[in-house]
Amino acid sequence: MVLHLAQGLDRKRFFPVVGCLHEKGRFASRLEEARIPVFVFSKRPKIDLALIGRLRYFLRETSVDLVHTHLFTANLWGRLAGAFSKIPVVVTEHSVDAWKGWPFHLLDLGLKPFTTHWIFVSEEVRRFYEGRLGTLRNASVITNGVSLASSLPVRRENRLTTLAAVGRLAPEKGLDRFVKLIARLHREGLAVRGLLVGDGPQRIVLEQAVAHEGLTGKMEFTGFVTEMEKVWPLIDVLCLTSSREGLPLSALEAMGFRIPVLATDVGGVKECIQDGVEGYVVPFGDWEGFFQRARALVQDPSLREKLGTLGRARIERQFNLPQTVGEHEKLYERLLFKTPRG
């Protein structure tokens, strides 16, 4: 989302600069190709108080007018540096972060005065944080948005129906359930293959689960992918088995490629997918219901086409990238100028 936002900002009004706490990461080259500078602050493990000084020096030397942070660690250090530098700080919360215990709760409360504005990617994420921090008047919901291809690739016929899970291979994604889903579909004689797109700490565990279920050769691991537009045409159904989400970009991207989404009812999933309209939303833990809907999607190509077409239309109406970027631009200008420019 940071990549898309930085690339999409109107360069006549904004000059984006991206700062990474640890290392440049896999998307840095795409930012630099777009002439967006990428800086690394070499944060040391755990508490690195010297980082505040490095951030303050950077903010001063590059004449930064506004800081926008994403995810917990950046939200913490970015707000502290912004407060010392007297620069407005916008914080985006991307998920229902139920993993945060009381120490994190106290940190969020302590940093509340240093937060110029909060952005939540869904109403559900906003409700979660206001339940912890109280009503936030300096807050808004700006949903994630995705770019839409002007033309969609033609799907190849006479191939195995491909169900995919896309994202970080981490416990909260519930990907062991995805492996079991593919295994059960195979046991019922359905011609399907599984695709796990992404990388993360659970890769070895999931590879072992695939072997245990007898899916070797029937489940593919792609590793980390930077150009998903080349992978989406290979997918017939996107499965989200997560225990927590904010507003999943993978679901929005799949819908933009006219791919039906089968997801657990967590976070803001229902804010982008109406059950039975753009896809299916199943209560978390109802794995029998999840399987029944997966089987229906595998067996009925016309159902996949119907849900996928409606999903694409929903993205065009409500979750397109220009709309998301435009809402960020309006917020930045409102915070920086009494009278918005442009």
Q: Of all helices (H) and strands (E), which one includes residue 196?
A: strand 192-197
- Asked if residue 33 has pLDDT above 90, the reply is yes
pLDDT at 73: 94
High-pLDDT (> 90) share of the chain, %: 89
Please give the average per-residue pLDDT across 217-236, as a whole number.
93
- Asked if residue 340 has pLDDT above 50, the reply is no
Q: What is the pLDDT of residues 193-210, one digit of tens each?
A: 999 999 999 999 999 999
pLDDT at 66: 97
> What is the rounded distance in angstroms from the CA atom of residue 193 to the CA atom of residue 2?
32
**Token pair in block for residue 272:** 């982008």
pLDDT at 257: 95
> What is the rounded distance in angstroms from the CA atom of residue 180 to the CA atom of residue 195?
13
**Token pair in block for residue 22:** 């640890």
53 Cβ contact partners less than 8 Å away, ≥ 6 residues apart: none
Are the C-beta atoms of 214 and 321 separated by less than 8 Å?
A: no
Query: Yes or no: is domain 161-318 CATH 3.40.50.2000?
Result: yes
299 Cβ contact partners less than 8 Å away, ≥ 6 residues apart: 190
Q: How deeply is 84 buried, as exposed, middle or buried, from its count of CB atoms within 10 A (0-12, 13-18, 19+)?
A: middle
Dihedral, 292, 296, 298, 303 alpha carbons, nearest 10: -150
Give the chain's radius of gyration (CA, Å).
21
Residue with tokens 């944060």: 43
The edge-to-edge listing of strands for the beta sheet with 67-70 is 67-70, 89-93, 117-120, 139-141
Are the C-beta atoms of 248 and 269 separated by less than 8 Å?
A: yes
Are the C-beta atoms of 331 and 140 separated by less than 8 Å?
A: yes
pLDDT at 158: 58
Q: Residue 193: name the closest of 152, 157, 237 by CA.
A: 237
pTM for the structure as a whole: 0.89
Q: Of all helices (H) and strands (E), which one includes residue 34?
A: none
Please give the average per-residue pLDDT across 9-37, as a whole number.
94
pLDDT band at residue 339 under the 50/70/90 scheme: very low
Instruction: Answer whether 2-145+321-336 and 161-318 agree in fold.
Output: yes
Q: What is the pLDDT of residues 67-121, one digit of tens each?
A: 999 999 999 999 999 999 999 999 999 999 888 888 988 999 999 999 999 999 9
Q: What is the pLDDT of residues 238-272, one digit of tens each?
A: 999 999 999 999 999 999 999 999 999 999 999 99
pLDDT at 341: 36
Q: Where are the domains of the chain?
A: 2-145+321-336, 161-318
Q: What is the pLDDT of residues 309-332, one digit of tens each?
A: 999 999 999 999 999 999 999 999
Q: Residue 32: name the closest of 9, 66, 3, 61 by CA.
A: 3
**Token pair in block for residue 302:** 């016309």
Q: How deeply is 308 buried, as exposed, middle or buried, from its count of CB atoms within 10 A (0-12, 13-18, 19+)?
A: buried
Are the C-beta atoms of 200 and 170 separated by less than 8 Å?
A: yes
Q: Residue 293: name the closest of 281, 308, 284 by CA.
A: 281
pLDDT at 166: 97
Q: What is the pLDDT of residues 119-172, one digit of tens each?
A: 999 999 999 999 999 999 999 999 999 988 766 666 656 578 999 999 999 999
Query: Yes or no: is domain 2-145+321-336 CATH 3.40.1000.10?
Result: no
Q: Residue 87: name the closest of 104, 62, 110 by CA.
A: 62
Are the C-beta atoms of 194 and 178 separated by less than 8 Å?
A: yes
Q: Of all helices (H) and strands (E), which one includes residue 180?
A: helix 175-187
Residue type, 25: G
pLDDT band at residue 226 under the 50/70/90 scheme: confident
**Token pair in block for residue 33:** 């190709």
Q: Is the dihedral of CA 319, 320, 323, 324 positive or negative?
A: positive
- Asked if residue 342 has pLDDT above 50, the reply is no
State the first-to-last Cα distance of the chain, in angstroms, to the nearest integer: 24
- Asked if residue 227 has pLDDT above 90, the reply is no
The per-residue pLDDT of the chain, averaged, comes to 93
Are the C-beta atoms of 52 and 77 separated by less than 8 Å?
A: yes
Measured CA to CA in angstroms, residue 202 lies from 174, 295, 296, 334, 341 at distances of 10, 26, 29, 42, 47
